[in-house]
Structure 1
């Protein structure tokens, strides 16, 4: 551990590489392969779930491409918050930061709730009939918060191991299922047409996002990687390719083993797929993979939410107290601790589907902003005016596709959760008004542009 020199400014350490960025992004998301995605099957059938998976994959590919360019250029903690601060202004920065904090914290709560239920079920099967999920939920959040408190390298090295194991477990299941033959997988029996037509495909988009939700979290490592221009684009783009591969394999195996009506109601589809293959080794492998995926996701969410909270506190968008760095561990310790009761409150007092929907909608609002931000970024700082670690190809096509797919996703969520959509929009509107009338006067307006760039065109 590096010792501090008296009078030295305490900052985050740059000690991460591309593998840690990959582990952060994929680790948050891979749990979506183990549970949750299959609800899209109930919305429109198995084929609709595949189309929704690829549509959502295209949406997040656009997110990854845009993130790779902007974040490798604006290598600061906070991700999209820091991008908005430089490209748009304080109001958009505040909203982007709030979207991210709630998106990751709600996802953390959902993971803790899921892990609690998994361990409760395991306890009951082991003979402990009075086993409860609540202690496991609290233990998960508190222990992972402690891990994040102690250091980012240890946190993401832990995530790397968990994520690699969970991904390899999916690959093993896919190979054992022998997709090159019809001996085990029965797609000819289970793969049906679209039972609810093309509207079912749109409705399935809601849970198709669950395959990829959180990959944009790679941006939160921007201030802690050794080489942002290399590590951030590499980790992010390899991450989205990993998720596309895992999602397609997951769909292919599960649809070939279960009727879509049963698959749509499954709590852990990959675990159920292993059970149907009559292999105790596979069942054990997928149970461990499920637990590891959930823990990795919750762990990454704490890392990401705390970095955004820290960056906003440092700039006084919220309480400056949250912008502190631990003098020994070099982590945003106060931001990590402050978000623990928020995650616990949602874990204990909200339903799982509501928490998931809140996280998805917060993410969608952030992606919508990104579609506009990359266009503004290119106009304000054209190619050649600043150093970029990565240049997104075919601009502005990724931005246009992202905005179109976000509109489809909003409508998809509205079909099943219209009330929740209205409440989320109302909440962020009130928060924006609070920031404008009460908090904006405390913002360090003279420090908005922290990058050594020329003035933007039109400034």
Structure 2
């Protein structure tokens, strides 16, 4: 395994903090926005899509946990692919993660702006990016404490939505019957869209160099965070479906706020809007953490400018990588509408986890040990190509650009 003595990060995170950071990524803005497009793709079959996404996420989480315990360094699957499959596959995973998640960061920032001040969404988005980059710059413990507070607020809001919806006279269990207008294709597309919201457990792995006793902490934290997120998503999906029905949910622009209005408690809708903004902040915070750590790992190996590998002598964070990521995200949030990048981000993340599962396949011989990574790899490929056609085309194109850049760099190095 490649080591980097003298430039390591400080190990400060225990199981609790690691779980909270994972939850801050998963139980974020996705739960407020992903249900409606999933309902449009699969009707009430979105519950099946949620189950499919959860199975693929479980396989990915298991593979990631095994690899992270063996390679507890910043970079996640970038490191695993490099060590188990070769430099190119690690690079491909890192490229897919950095590009896809940078776009996702901008989308989360714009989500904050849309909920806080719709008329000035871009300005609010940039302010959010600057503020959270400053928090991350000050050290990971500050980030963990802020994430803990955000998770507590979001879980309280979601619990209120579930209770109000399920106890109202508008709730009808008959609306939960599985009806899939577009068949298996619709379910798989819904699963691909919902998978976007599950992908946050990668943040635990990408922070592997800052976790105490990683061989014990990471395998415990990843499945625990994923299990809690799945329970929350399932409860919210059932509650909102029971009130709005598949058609109403698919047409909703703010499904959770619409659900509490339909349940007869319109006064809760502003609270839900605040919860959505806070959730997007939590997602943005964790996304910037993950992208900056993968940038650090790729810069160490000169796949990105070497100066981005610097670690701050006082705060023990990759400060140049964090500032660079924050600057790029701020520019995107100020100039673009990147909400359509959700599908592209899912394509990139699924590529990232395909490499993770392929890496886990090499860890131990024998059919039983390879079932989980095999299912995870197949699931990632199927879900990636079940996404909307434009997302697949753009995602494949951006990955191709990265591959060409890698080839040019290798050719120059050979000369």
Q: Which residue of 17, 23, 34 corresponds with 1:26?
A: 23
8 A contact 2:15–2:221 mirrored in 1: yes
Structure-to-structure mapping, 1:97-246, within 5 angstroms: 97-121=94-118, 131-178=119-166, 183-189=169-175, 191=177, 193-246=179-232
RMSD of aligned alpha carbons? 2.3
Q: 1:193 to 1:431 in 2, by over 3 A?
A: closer
CA–CA separation in structure 1 for the residues paired with 2:316 and 2:306 = 17
CA–CA separation in structure 1 for the residues paired with 2:91 and 2:351 = 13
Q: Which residue of 66, 69, 83 corresponds with 1:69?
A: 66
8 A contact 2:42–2:182 mirrored in 1: yes
CA–CA separation in structure 2 for the residues paired with 1:101 and 1:189 = 40
Q: Give how far 1:354 is off.
A: 2.6
Q: Give the structure 1 partner of residue 383 of structure 2.
A: 409
What secondary structure, in the 3-state scheme, does the structure 2 residue paired with 1:259 have?
A: helix
8 A contact 1:85–1:93 mirrored in 2: yes
CA–CA separation in structure 1 for the residues paired with 2:278 and 2:26 = 12
Q: Does 1:45 align with 2:43?
A: yes
Q: Give how far 1:308 is off.
A: 0.5
Q: Give how far 1:191 is off.
A: 4.6
Q: Give how far 1:203 is off.
A: 2.9
Q: Give the structure 1 partner of residue 405 of structure 2.
A: 434
Gaps of 5+ in 2: none
CA–CA separation in structure 2 for the residues paired with 1:189 and 1:87 = 47
CA–CA separation in structure 2 for the residues paired with 1:440 and 1:364 = 28
CA–CA separation in structure 2 for the residues paired with 1:252 and 1:433 = 45
Query: TM-score if structure 2 supplies the norm length?
Result: 0.92
Q: 1:101 to 1:45 in 2, by over 3 A?
A: same
Stretch of structure 1 that moved more, 418-427 or 55-64: 418-427
What secondary structure, in the 3-state scheme, does the structure 1 residue paired with 2:111 have?
A: helix
Q: 1:76 to 1:441 in 2, by over 3 A?
A: farther
Gaps of 5+ in 1: 1-7, 122-130, 383-392, 444-459
CA–CA separation in structure 2 for the residues paired with 1:286 and 1:118 = 10
Q: Give the structure 1 partner of residue 324 of structure 2.
A: 338
* Structure with the higher fraction of residues in helix conformation: 2
Q: Give how far 1:315 is off.
A: 2.1
8 A contact 1:191–1:255 mirrored in 2: no
CA–CA separation in structure 1 for the residues paired with 2:176 and 2:220 = 38
CA–CA separation in structure 2 for the residues paired with 1:192 and 1:242 = 24
Stretch of structure 1 that moved more, 110-119 or 253-262: 253-262
CA–CA separation in structure 2 for the residues paired with 1:163 and 1:183 = 29
8 A contact 2:299–2:307 mirrored in 1: yes
Q: Give how far 1:187 is off.
A: 2.8
8 A contact 1:120–1:132 mirrored in 2: yes
Q: Which has the larger radius of gyration?
A: 1
8 A contact 1:10–1:327 mirrored in 2: no
Stretch of structure 1 that moved more, 98-107 or 362-371: 98-107
